[in-house]
Structure 1
Amino acid sequence: MTEITLCNDEHIEYLSKELGLVVSKEHTFGTDALLLADFASPKRCDICCDFGTGCGIIPMLWCRDGCGKEISAVEIQEKACDQLTRSVRANKLQDKLFVYNADLKETPLILPCGKFDVITMNPPYKAENAGIKSRKENEKIARHETLCNLRDIAKAASKLLKFGGRLCICIRPERLFETMEAMKEYKIEPKALRLVAASPEKAPWLCLIEGKLGGRTGMTVKNNLFVYKDKDVLSDEMMRILGKYREDM
């Protein structure tokens, strides 16, 4: 990684000894993004896109792990795009990871339709009219459907994906049915579901769902993923997912 100029609220989060990501108080990442990146796991030859990429944690993890032949990262917030653009340059990924400062609803006008093997989205978890909205614009966009909703995501993905291409989303359990409805409306058939819980004693707090464009009816429910196997002791699978990231923490 080459030298990079940081703003006052920014720092480098190392995803491995060689790969660093610019994060800030406004644009950082959480466990859900790490889980979604692993759940989607593109093949080396796949053409991929991450909607609402934020600081770019998902595409940067794919680059670290050798996933995807070509990756497009779409983000509407200019500051987040600037962070990721600097990360791409510092890690010399300009030939693989392409950043677009754009509204995901406009991606069919910007990106080639019918080309993508995998699209991911870590969407706002709350509907536009649900709960108390943050006064901070970046938090409002991240948490509430102020700029896009689940139907917008499914509609854009249905145009960009090739037949049989996958849309992978992480969402709160209370919005799972709504997510599947949006997928099916745009011919993306839900094919795989995995629930994430803090421990075997706790109720799931996250759903990882995969849909295939033009897929046949029938969904596989995978075994639950537990973050902890004991109090403050990460599960073996969570250790695997964190992997190289934890080694440099």
Structure 2
Amino acid sequence: MVELFEDERLDYLLAEELQIIQSPSVFAFSLDAVLLANFTYLPIQKGKIIDLCSGNGVIPLLLINRTKAEIMGVEIQERLYNMAKRSMILNQLDNKIKMIHGDLKDMPSRLGANQFDLVTCNPPYFSSKSPEIQNQNEHLAIARHELYCTLEDVVKSSSQLLKQGGKVSFVHRPERLMDLFMHMRNYRLEPKRLRFVYPKEGKEANTILVEGIKDGRPGLKVLSPLFVYNQQNEYNEEVRAMLYGNK
């Protein structure tokens, strides 16, 4: 059993039958991470996957049962990195998922360019100029606001890490869609799949899922919309399966 610190708790990833260390004051993953993991196409048998802005390692944990590829997670905050490391040990996955403490901007030089088949990233959504930052503790501010990396930094590093023909998948906010597409094309990542996520029917989309291919041909597919809740404010069947599995 691993040691828990301060207000940390153990939560279950029910669909994956795994556990994860979380903290309300440091980091707890959101539905966005689950959506991104399920949206992402994975190399099944082999390859190398890297998750940037990995937080407490939730996306590597959500992916591990669907691939035999090598998985790495990168997190700049030492406290979150430590939480992720302990979660891997807790699930006896520390020999399959390697967590790296460092800045994503340094990864191409540290790990080598053109090395990965897949990059995933749930980046900070908000500009560092946002007034919301004044009301958040340091850990949450870094996770949510562009303090240590910008959207351009994320896209640039993703492209540098990817092999030609490799895939990248992002989750972000609809208001940043054009910024994301612009940076992707500037750094040789051709947008190939786009899905809008809505809280429920009749509401505006509040999340986007985007896949790109390095040096891919133009041709964007807009997938069917995903509604998180039904009119009874319960999870829709697709989202419920993501969270709890097909049981």
Same fold (TM over 0.5): yes
Deviation at 1:18? 4.6
Aligned mates of 2:168, 2:131 — CA distance in 1: 27
Aligned mates of 1:224, 1:46 — CA distance in 2: 30
Q: How does 1:105-144 map to 2 (within 5 A)?
A: 105-133=105-133, 134-144=135-145
Deviation at 1:100? 0.5
Aligned mates of 1:228, 1:139 — CA distance in 2: 26
Secondary structure, aligned partner of 1:207: strand
Query: Given that residues 42 and 66 in structure 2 are in contact (C-alpha distance below 8 angstroms), is that contact kept between their aligned partners in structure 1?
Result: no
Q: For residue 199 of structure 1, what is the amino acid of its counterpart?
A: K
Query: Given that residues 36 and 171 in structure 2 are in contact (C-alpha distance below 8 angstroms), is that contact kept between their aligned partners in structure 1?
Result: yes
Aligned residue in 1 for 2:58: 57
Taking only aligned residues, the RMSD between alpha carbons, in angstroms, comes to 1.6
Aligned residue in 2 for 1:199: 200
Could you tell me the percent identity over the aligned residues? 36
Aligned residue in 2 for 1:176: 177
Aligned residue in 2 for 1:32: 32
TM value normalised by structure 2: 0.93
Deviations 1:69-123 (A, max 9, x none): 1111000000001111111112221221001100000001221321211111111
Instruction: Verify: 1:152 aligned to 2:153, yes or no.
Output: yes
Aligned mates of 1:59, 1:231 — CA distance in 2: 32
Aligned residue in 1 for 2:7: 9
Q: For residue 95 of structure 1, what is the amino acid of its counterpart?
A: N
Aligned residue in 1 for 2:222: 221
Q: For residue 159 of structure 1, what is the amino acid of its counterpart?
A: Q
Deviations 1:194-226 (A, max 9, x none): 000011211100000111100111110000001
How many residues align structurally? 243
Instruction: Verify: 1:77 aligned to 2:72, yes or no.
Output: no
Query: Given that residues 108 and 160 in structure 2 are in contact (C-alpha distance below 8 angstroms), is that contact kept between their aligned partners in structure 1?
Result: yes
Deviating 4+ runs (over 2 angstroms): 43-46, 65-68
Secondary structure, aligned partner of 2:149: coil
Query: Given that residues 192 and 210 in structure 1 are in contact (C-alpha distance below 8 angstroms), is that contact kept between their aligned partners in structure 2?
Result: yes
Instruction: Verify: 1:23 aligned to 2:28, yes or no.
Output: no
Q: For residue 158 of structure 1, what is the amino acid of its counterpart?
A: S
Point out where structure 1 has 5 or more consecutive residues left out of the alignment.
none
TM value normalised by structure 1: 0.92
Deviation at 1:68? 4.5
Instruction: Verify: 1:98 aligned to 2:114, yes or no.
Output: no
Secondary structure, aligned partner of 1:230: coil
Query: Given that residues 48 and 71 in structure 1 are in contact (C-alpha distance below 8 angstroms), is that contact kept between their aligned partners in structure 2?
Result: yes
